[in-house]
Amino acid sequence: MTTLPPRAGREAELAILAHPPRSHIIQSRDIRIDAPPEHGGAETYRLFIARPRLAVPGGYPALYMLDGNAAFDFLTGALLEAHPGLAVVGIGYATGQQFARASRIRDYSPPASLGAALLPDPHHPARLAGGAENFLPRLVGPLRDAAEAGLPVDPARRTLWGHSFGGLFSLFAAATAPQSFARYAMISPSIWWNEAIARDLVDKTGFAASTPIYFAVGDREKRGNDPGPEPTAPPAATLALRDALARRPGVDLRAEIFSGAIHIASLPASLPRTLELAGHG
Say which of 148, 263, 266, 270 is annotated catalytic.
Answer: 263
Q: What is the rounded CA–CA span in Å between residue 105 and residue 130? A: 8
To the query of whether residue 230 is one of the catalytic residues in this protein, the response is no
Going by C-beta distance under 8 Å and a sequence separation of 6 or more, which residues neighbour residue 268? 5, 74
Instruction: Count CA atoms closer than 13 A to 217's CA, side-chain side.
Output: 25
To the query of whether residue 164 is one of the catalytic residues in this protein, the response is yes
Q: List Cα–Cα distances, 258 to 76, 233, 273, in angstroms.
A: 19, 10, 12
Going by C-beta distance under 8 Å and a sequence separation of 6 or more, which residues neighbour residue 278? 61, 62, 63, 83, 86, 88, 157, 159, 161, 183, 185
Say which of 164, 180, 190, 266 is annotated catalytic.
Answer: 164
Q: Please give the angle made by the CA atoms of 251, 255 and 259, to the nearest 5 degrees.
A: 170
Closest CA relative to residue 24, chosen from 106, 93, 79, 97: 79
Backbone angles phi and psi of 176, in degrees to 5: -105, -25
60-66 and 119-120 strand pairing = unpaired
**In the chain, beta strands by DSSP E:** 24-33, 43-52, 60-66, 87-93, 119-120, 128-129, 153-163, 183-187, 211-218, 251-258
Task: Indicate the length of the chain as a whole number.
Answer: 281
Say which of 24, 221, 266, 270 is annotated catalytic.
Answer: 221
Count the helices and strands in the chain (H runs, E runs): 10, 10
To the query of whether residue 81 is one of the catalytic residues in this protein, the response is no
Instruction: Just list the catalytic residues.
Output: 164, 221, 263
